[in-house]
Amino acid sequence: MAKIGVLALQGAIKEHIQQIELLGHEAVTVKTSDNLCGIDGLILPGGESTTIGKMLERNDMVEPIKAMAQQGTPMFGTCAGLILLAKKIKDFKTPHLGLMDVEVERNSFGRQVDSFEVPLSIPSIGDELTAVFIRAPHIVSIGEHVEILATYEERIVLARDGQFLGCSFHPELTDDVRILEFFIGMVNEFIKVPR
């Protein structure tokens, strides 16, 4: 059983926790750096990336999360979480965590009123996954070791950079847990590595 932390400063926290528990793993609500102790993976949920970034700084969580990343801890960012993970944010000087070797563009699929759902086929995960896009970013460019897992309208919406998984949409807002299962597979790989 993996112990998965969910950053609980803002956003779709409850839905991630429910899906983790549905798959038989332990979910940990992460509000302070102390809550990071002992977790095997970390999910950074959607919400408002600038607000969450400021709360990370205010709660002195940026460096502890970066330290976890240096130890190889898998991290999964959805929507705003992808923006938090990215090394570059288009039209912004400074990234939040700067961990995943991608550049993202915020709100690239429109405003809240432009939210939509589409079926996506993701070769390494499965067919007909419902992707919920809400003020979603997309990945503009990737580093040489980043694997593109899914695109929509020729824009990268799901990618993996080693221990980091970044997603433009909200898989936790559907009943389909296959992307979360993929991330937990990454976590299980990490658990098996001697630390």
Number of residues in the chain: 195
Whole-number pLDDT of residue 97: 94
pTM across the whole model:
0.93
Whole-number pLDDT of residue 113: 54
Q: Which domains does the chain possess?
A: 3-192 (3.40.50.880)
Whole-number pLDDT of residue 114: 59
Helices (H) and strands (E) in the chain, counts: 5, 12
Instruction: Exactly one of 15, 25, 105, 172 is catalytic; name it.
Output: 172
- State which amino acid sits at residue 99: L
Instruction: Exactly one of 79, 96, 138, 167 is catalytic; name it.
Output: 79
- Residue 39 is encoded by which pair of tokens? 């977790």
- Pairing state of beta strands 138-142 and 100-105? antiparallel
Q: Is 190 helix (H, G, I), strand (E, B) or coil?
A: helix
Per the annotation, the verdict on 172 as an active-site residue is: yes
CB 36 within 8 A of CB 62: no
Which residues, at least 6 apart from 194, have a Cβ–Cβ distance to it below 8 Å? none
pLDDT, averaged per 10 consecutive residues of the chain (195 residues), comes to: 93 92 96 94 90 91 96 95 94 88 83 76 91 90 95 94 96 94 94 68
Per the annotation, the verdict on 79 as an active-site residue is: yes
E-assigned strand segments in 13-99: 26-30, 41-44, 75-78, 86-89
Whole-number pLDDT of residue 129: 92
Whole-number pLDDT of residue 191: 82
Please, is 120 exposed, middle or buried when counting C-beta atoms within 10 Å of its C-beta (0-12, 13-18, 19+)? buried
Whole-number pLDDT of residue 48: 83
Whole-number pLDDT of residue 12: 81
Per the annotation, the verdict on 170 as an active-site residue is: yes
Whole-number pLDDT of residue 108: 67
